[in-house]
Chain A
Amino acid sequence: MALLTVRNLHARVAGKDILKGIDLEVRPGEVHAIMGPNGSGKSTLASVLAGRDGYEVTQGEVLFDGKPLLELSPEERATAGVFLAFQYPVEIPGVGNLHFLRTALNAQRRVRGLEELDAMDFLQLAKEKSKLVKLDTAFMNRSVNEGFSGGEKKRNEVFQMAVLEPRLAILDETDSGLDIDALRTVAGGVNALRSPERGMVLITHYQRLLDYIVPDKVHVMAAGRIIRSGGRELALELEEKGYGWLGLKDGASTAVAAKGGEVRR
């Protein structure tokens, strides 16, 4: 059975239709890449799946594990196993990174009827997982994302994912703002978390990320729809020919991306 099923999903933000009929199916173990030019609706899709406020679903449905996802609160979705790695991880001053993560993990465990981890067991777990993305413990005791560099923030997202062990991970432009070394580290962490039970959706503007995390399927989004789906070769073709190849306009060319440039909306 599919882990995630999106059927004819329409959504609007501030009265404006952004998603205009998305269909997507992710099976356990699969890694899907969603590419597309700026403004195509990629991040909106991520936000709608995670349950961010201000996004109104006007049509369609989303099933997670065969059950309706859209009626759940963000925390219920998280507990069900949906994880979003944020494009812009949020700073929470005065709240320790580890304290935050332990609270999150235990909140999820509580709902699932599992015993909560005490501070010692949690520290052990955190230490082990932090190796995946090469974070040291001093870093873990700082306030959540406060004063972190762009690369540290993204590594922290992957670290959280490693600890929370979601069934579906949505990575929203996790590659943006990373230099090549940081990109390798983050990609290494993500690859280590690939498993036959876990599905992943990588949202990215650039093919570059897919050199390091090789997807099973690639989708190209434009103007709120998936206009083309294929295998890894689709991304390579897109890299070579640019979004213009599909008749799409885009402010940033893939050539810029190849040099490691970053584009923010």
Chain B
Amino acid sequence: MSTDTLQELTRRPYEAGFVTAVESDTFPPGLSEDVIRQLSEKKGEPAFLLEWRLKAFRHWLTMKEPTWQAVKYAPIDYQAISYYSAPRQKPKKGSLDEVDPEILRTYEKLGIPLHEQKLLQNVAVDAVFDSVSVATTFKDKLAKAGVIFCSFSEAVREHPELVKKYLGSVVPYSDNFFAALNSAVFSDGSFVYIPKGVRCPMELSTYFRINAAETGQFERTLIVADEGSYVSYLEGCTAPQRDTNQLHAAVVELVALDGATIKYSTVQNWYPGDAEGRGGIYNFVTKRGIAHRGSRISWTQVETGSAITWKYPSVILKGDDSVGEFYSVALTNNLQQADTGTKMVHIGKNTRSTIVSKGISAGRGQNTYRGLVKVLKSAENARNYTQCDSLLLGDKCGAHTVPYIEVKNASAQVEHEASTSKIGEDQLFYCRQRGISQEDAVSMIVNGFCRQVFKELPMEFAVEAQKLLGVSLEGSVG
């Protein structure tokens, strides 16, 4: 098959690109201490949080945007962004009946019905629309197990002691430029607390939707898994199709206390921009977990959207015998750019980490894996296994692998394997000769390439991810 046909094949429409007509309460563009005070007041926040935001903001002013990543974009005017947008509705909904039906319909259209009777069995959803959480489902059932799953704002009101204790404990506000910005202006997000020894009875899920134009989405997720507990958490994201770029700078902090397990899965499908590279989300996200003794943190991500993806979900393996995992599929098509990977920092003894990264580049997409494996002196018998595979569709795209390995303990074992392959014309012809259409063949080969990662996703989401990947590569054939 010719390269042209492959290019043709990788064109497709973005299905979540519609805009919902809701009245919203949006700040005028601009960022200052006053804006942050207003935001904090609007949310009725305690003093400690306002102070923290202001400290972050002042620190942010001293920082420079990072330039080491292999992505290109026009300078962002941070004064042209609105830092708060909320659908106008009654102060706080007691039930779903009070949520604007337009918003409920939006989620229905996206395939995420919020009415509990229609929900996927055993998945609780927190829906974040623009800057605020609009609904959290299955709260009662979770409460019975002692699990707290709510919007970040609600956590600030109802569980300030937990928020105060853990906020910024994994990603301090001074961590990096985008994390500092997020710390100053974050408007909502999800909060999870799993008590000691509790196995969370269902999958928890947050669905992020950017709707308003010219706004940034700055959500913050904090998950604390107390000793010996287990939780599986999923996030999904979409945004309308717009000509201008929108900034999404989120922070996710995970705390796995002794013996706890956190599985964190992401299916990211932000609007990627059009075929000429107009519009699309800038997804600049900081995700990190801290793993205490004998605990396990597992990141699984399927990144198909966004104009630019800049994220490195990481694990600090602080406790002895802790485990960190990173399974990633990143697809770039058209003019999308992704610079993504992970950091595994081995501090405790017998710590283990596994990294499996699958990068797929199509169109003129650029895909970079950037990963750090750091073994500190204290990390006796640390083990790491890294596998980075890149798949190229066509000859105008690029794949890059940038591994950093720092080992300060001689007993450590660090393995790195990398491969780059082109989707074979032989493979396509073989499929087609058996009667499988070109599109289905590409989708099948790509899905096969990603299987190692998909099998880490919960069942329903693995199916979703496969479909998404199929759609992402679909287009009109010749």
A-B contact count (CB 8 A): 79
Among B85-93, B403-411, B447-455, the stretch in contact with A = B447-455
Does A245 touch B at the CB level, under 8 Å? no
Q: Compute how far the CA of A143 lies from the CA of B163 in the bound complex, rounded to whole angstroms.
A: 47
Bound complex: CA A78 to CA B435 (Å): 5
Answer whether residue B425 sits at the interface, using C-beta atoms and an 8 A cutoff.
Answer: yes
Knowing A53-B1, A89-B430, say if A108 contacts B435 (CB, 8 Å): yes
B window 436-459: CB within 8 A of A: 436-438, 440, 444-445, 447-452
- Please give, as numbers and ranges, the residues of chain A lying within 8 Å of B429 by CB-CB distance: 50, 52-53, 74, 90
Set of chain B residues within 8 Å of A84, measured between Cβ atoms: 433
Give the residues in chain A near B424, CB-CB below 8 Å: 90
Residues of B near A101 (CB, < 8 A) are 434
Answer whether A93 and B432 are a contact pair too, CB < 8 Å, given A100-B444, A103-B440.
no
* A104 engages B434 (CB within 8 Å): yes
Residues of A within 8 A of B431 (CB): 92, 100, 104
| A residues in contact with B121, CB < 8 Å | none
**Contact A75:B449 (CB < 8 A) given known A53-B2, A53-B425, A53-B429:** no
Is the C-beta of B426 less than 8 angstroms from some C-beta in chain A? yes
Q: Mark A163-204, 1 if CB is under 8 A from B, else 0.
A: 010000000000000000000000000000000000000000
> Secondary structure of the B side of the interface?
helix
Contact A79 B435 (CB under 8 A): yes
Q: How many residues of B contact A (CB 8 A)?
A: 25
Nearest residue (CB) in B for A111 is B435
Give min CB distance, B74 to chain A, whole Å. 38
Contact A103 B436 (CB under 8 A): yes
B448 partner residues in chain A, CB cutoff 8 A: 92-95, 143
Interface centre among A95, A108, A160, by most B CB within 10 Å? A95
Inter-chain contacts of B433 with A (CB < 8 A): 50-51, 74-75, 77-78, 83-84, 86
CB–CB B445/A107 < 8 A: no
**B440 surroundings in chain A (CB, below 8 A):** 103, 107
Contacts of B452 in A (CB 8 A): 94
Q: Size band of the A side of the interface?
A: 20 to 34
Give the CA-CA distance A214 to B383 in the complex, in Å. Answer: 59
Cβ-based interface call for B38 (8 A): no
Q: How far is the CB of A51 from chain B (nearest CB, A)?
A: 8
- B20 on interface, CB distance cutoff 8 Å: no
Interface presence of A73 (CB below 8 A): yes
Q: Are A92 and B430 also in contact (CB < 8 A) when A53-B1, A103-B440, A107-B440 are?
A: yes
B387 at the binding interface (Cβ < 8 Å):
no
Given known A-B contacts A53-B425, A90-B427, A95-B445, A107 and B1 have beta carbons under 8 A apart: no
Tell me the nearest residue of chain B to A74, going by C-beta. B432
Chain B residue nearest to A81 (CB atoms) is B435
The residue in chain B whose Cβ has the minimal distance to the Cβ of A76 is B435
Residue from the list B432, B437, B450 in contact with A94, Cβ < 8 A: B450
By the criterion CB–CB under 8 Å, are A92 and B445 in contact? Answer: yes
Cα distance, A86 to B447, chains bound together (Å): 23
Which residues B337-379 have CB closer than 8 A to chain A?
none
- List residues of A (46-96) whose CB comes within 8 Å of B's CBs: 50-53, 73-75, 77-79, 83-84, 86, 89-95
Within 8 A of B (CB), among A98-122: 100-101, 103-105, 107-108, 111
| A50 neighbours in B (Cβ, 8 Å) | 429, 433
Question: A75–B436 contact, CB under 8 A?
Answer: yes
- A92-B2 Cα distance, complex, nearest whole Å: 19
Residues of B within 8 A of A79 (CB): 435
**A residues 104-156 with Cβ under 8 Å of B?**
104-105, 107-108, 111, 143
Question: Chain B nearest CB: distance from A176 CB in Å?
Answer: 17
Nearest-neighbour CB distance to chain A for B476, whole angstroms, equals 14
Report which residue of B433, B438, B451 has the largest number of chain A beta carbons within 10 angstroms of its beta carbon.
B433
CA distance A92 to B436 in the complex (A): 14
Near A by CB (< 8 A), chain B positions 267-289 give none
B451 and A107 contact, CB distance less than 8 A:
no
Nearest Cβ in chain A — how far from B185, in angstroms? 42
B binding-site residues for A, Cβ under 8 Å:
1-2, 424-427, 429-438, 440, 444-445, 447-452
- Contact sample, A vs B, 23 pairs, CB 8 Å cutoff: A50-B429, A51-B432, A52-B429, A53-B425, A73-B432, A74-B432, A74-B433, A84-B433, A90-B424, A90-B426, A90-B427, A90-B429, A92-B427, A92-B445, A92-B448, A94-B450, A95-B444, A103-B440, A107-B434, A107-B436, A160-B434, A164-B434, A164-B435
- Lowest 8 A-B CB distances belong to which pairs? A94-B448, A95-B448, A104-B434, A94-B451, A78-B435, A74-B432, A90-B430, A108-B435
